[in-house]
Structure 1
Amino acid sequence: MEVYKNISELRAGILLNEDVYCKTKFPIMRKDTELSLEHIEVLRAFGIKRVKVEERVTKKDVPESEQTINADDVLDNIPVSMYLLRKEYNETVSNYKKEFKHWRSGQRPDIAKVRSFIIPLLEKSLTQKRILTMLNDFSNPEEYIYHHSIAVGILSSAISNQMGFDKGDTLQLGLAGVLADCGMAKIAPSILEKTAFLSKEEYNEVKKHTLFSVKMIQDSPLLRQDMKLAILQHHERLDGSGYPRGEKMESISVFSQILAVSDVFHAMTSERLYRTKHSSFKVIEMIKEEEFGKFDIKVVEALHKLVGNLSIGTRVKLTDGELGEIMFVHRDTPLRPMIKKESDGLIIDLTTNRSLAIAKIVE
């Protein structure tokens, strides 16, 4: 529940629900910061009188009628709005899984039905952007294919919104993201459920899914032609290294690129049966550096602003398990700030300590 509180009413552990400014171009404290006593003192020092915060829910606050859902769905000390959003997310994944089984048996996608359960979630996700940084925690490797489709839809919608596209485009692209892998239903389960890396022959079989997906949805009037093209092209790359046609540059639409970045980002930040996940910060860095030239930089920057923005005072966990606080953010390498470690007070600069990266923001 969102409420405004006077500074005198704040206590450690409360979550900010909006950026805090004080005659500054950039916020002195960002939305979703979990307030510590030091944060509260900083707000007081800047003369801030009131801030918008999020009340939190714990297991004891969850109605008994809702305690039959998976234990992972009810986490201690999470915002009420995020608990409800995660519950709706899980229900959407369950609905998608049922539809996928129909497609596997030979039925064509009922896009009206898919639209009915994904659009409400997309609309909520556009206003509660914190879900974007939690999608990799929501997923599980055993049912990755279902989680992945819903997550790609959410990410695609959010990125297009961040880039300034109108709501019609963002919701259409979110729907396209959810349907982009419907053709996976035509791939043998033995390949999709394999717990090791695929052979060349198996990978070539999986690559056919974009063609299957387009064939399955091509006759529907509920999806625009440019969205159908995006589904076909979501594995194409600007340098021509993608599939199914190896197209390059201008021949690949911006909507295709948004789906592509969303697809790669969620895949790399999610745990799979055959490998561990990377942090969202590390993945954005890898897309920018190691995959340079394959993706539209404007799309990547939009994703960065949504899930990778860091500010001074943010508490983080590093890939070596150490906890620390961001002391300085470099303008040219914002994903590699200076961190003050909690264990010994030592300040480390991630620009020079390349073996380390931020694993997650600590709430």
Structure 2
Amino acid sequence: MRLLPIHTVLPGMKLGRKIYSEEGLVLLAEGVELTQALINRLGKYGVDFIYVADPRTEDIEIPQLLSEETRYKAISEIRNSFRKMMDRSIKNKTAGFIEIGKKFGEIMNLIINDLSSHKDAMIMLTNISVMDDYLYQHSLNVCIYSTVLGMAHGYNRNELMTLGLGSLLHDIGKTQIPYELLRKNAQLTDDEYTCMKKHTEYGFKLLKDEPNIPLLSAHCAFQHHERLNGSGYPRGIHGEDIHEYAKWIGLVDSYDAMTTHRVYRKAMLPHQAMEIIYAGTGSLFEKKKIELFRDKIAIYPLGINVTLSTGEVGTVVSLNPIFPQRPIIRVLQSAEGKQLSAPTDVDLSSKLSVMITAVNG
């Protein structure tokens, strides 16, 4: 299959990977023939990229880090719990409720179990082919990224539970922000941004006294927008004053925000987001954390179309865990623009003179 920007998808192409609804249910199955109406609808609901079937790349397998059952349970619990908190906030009632710690603890156990079966897998974009409210899917994405990095870093299960709960609930304070502000389809004004920043304090207050939620998880909600140089919020703390878990979450929160469709802008591709992350090395984010993230993230997702320095165009068919920036490319089009009937694979880790010069997104 190939990963195509939604604006390049043509009627008659067949879907290569499931599309999930807001509830985490399968909305469109693999093999569905796409019509212009379906393509338009997907674009309208924020799906910027989809996988389409292609006989030349039918051997590409996209790893599923979470089972469908775990993904559905996680999204459902995030959605239901966050909506209850939003409703309580609107009605000026106490937002916390005792069930949250137990329910999200059960979800985290499922997530850790699933991810433990894919310890060597590189992190693919987790938001492709999802039609969902940004807040719910973003919470799950950040949890997946953070937990994978925690495993690679060597945290034990108890530490992963604390980090995972902190990442899964890092944005829970946004349930106390006016909904129209969360859904605004333009950049926030200074006053609106000041209001939005309060979600970190709201999140800490919601979580700090919850049974079965570690206090460190509450501090993740409080500190995930703090930065090494003190430029973050809510307290503008520096370096070692920021907890390790909050540093991991702050890094992947920024990455996922950039690579996810927002109502006011299109999603960036992974390599574009990573360039911005790199620019913050030592000032916003710790170098060692960025390096581990770099080694675990697929900056060129499987199925994405790229142009090589030779002028040839191809598709990423295999990832290189040692050199993520040099995957295996299946060349589908010659430098002269001719579609090849017998595509060839080029391993960029052994052809050092050939480089990716553009991602055709």
Long gaps (5+) in structure 2: 2-13, 19-23, 32-52, 89-94, 337-352
Write out per-residue CA displacement over residues 313-336 of structure 1, whole angstroms, 9 at most, x where no aligned residue. x87523899425699x9x9x9637
Contact 1:214 1:228 in 2 (8 A): yes
> Which residue identity is paired with 1:71?
L
> Paired residue for 2:207?
217
Contact 1:317 1:324 in 2 (8 A): yes
Partner-residue secondary structure (3-state), 1:104: helix
Cα shift at 1:349: 3.0
> Paired residue for 2:346?
none
> Paired residue for 1:19?
none
> Paired residue for 2:198?
208
Cα shift at 1:223: 2.7
Partner-residue secondary structure (3-state), 2:133: helix
Long gaps (5+) in structure 1: 1-12, 14-57, 63-67
Match of 2:102 among 112, 115, 126: 112
Write out per-residue CA displacement over residues 98-123 of structure 1, whole angstroms, 9 at most, x where no aligned residue. 11111112231521112223320232
What is the 5 A alignment of 1:208-357?
208-289=198-279, 293-308=283-298, 316-318=304-306, 322-324=313-315, 335=325, 342-345=332-335, 349-350=355-356, 353=357, 356-357=358-359
Judge which range, 290-299 or 263-272, deviates more. Answer: 290-299
Partner-residue secondary structure (3-state), 1:293: coil
> Which residue identity is paired with 1:349?
M
What is the 5 A alignment of 1:23-172?
69-72=25-28, 74=30, 82=64, 85-106=67-88, 107-109=95-97, 110-128=100-118, 132-140=123-131, 142-172=132-162
Cα shift at 1:245: 0.8
Contact 1:270 1:276 in 2 (8 A): yes
Contact 2:75 2:140 in 1 (8 A): yes
Aligned equivalents of 2:69 and 2:223: distance in 1? 32
Q: TM-score, structure 2 length as denominator?
A: 0.68
Aligned equivalents of 1:83 and 1:302: distance in 2? 18
Cα shift at 1:343: 1.5
**CA 102–230 in structure 1, closer or farther in 2 if over 3 Å, else same:** same
Relative to total residues, which structure has the larger helix share, 1 or 2? 1
> Paired residue for 2:350?
none
Aligned equivalents of 1:73 and 1:263: distance in 2? 29
Aligned equivalents of 2:129 and 2:72: distance in 1? 8
- Structure 1 segments, 4+ long, off by >4 Å, are 73-81, 319-322, 324-327, 336-341, 345-348
How many residue pairs get aligned? The number is 287
Cα shift at 1:337: 7.6
Cα shift at 1:138: 4.6
Aligned equivalents of 1:334 and 1:108: distance in 2? 42
Judge which range, 254-263 or 335-344, deviates more. Answer: 335-344
> Which residue identity is paired with 2:67?
L
**CA 230–69 in structure 1, closer or farther in 2 if over 3 Å, else same:** closer
Cα shift at 1:94: 2.0
Aligned equivalents of 1:319 and 1:72: distance in 2? 30
Contact 1:238 1:294 in 2 (8 A): yes
Partner-residue secondary structure (3-state), 2:305: strand
Q: TM-score, structure 1 length as denominator?
A: 0.67
RMSD: 3.8
Aligned equivalents of 2:176 and 2:134: distance in 1? 17
Q: Percent identity?
A: 23
Aligned equivalents of 1:291 and 1:203: distance in 2? 25
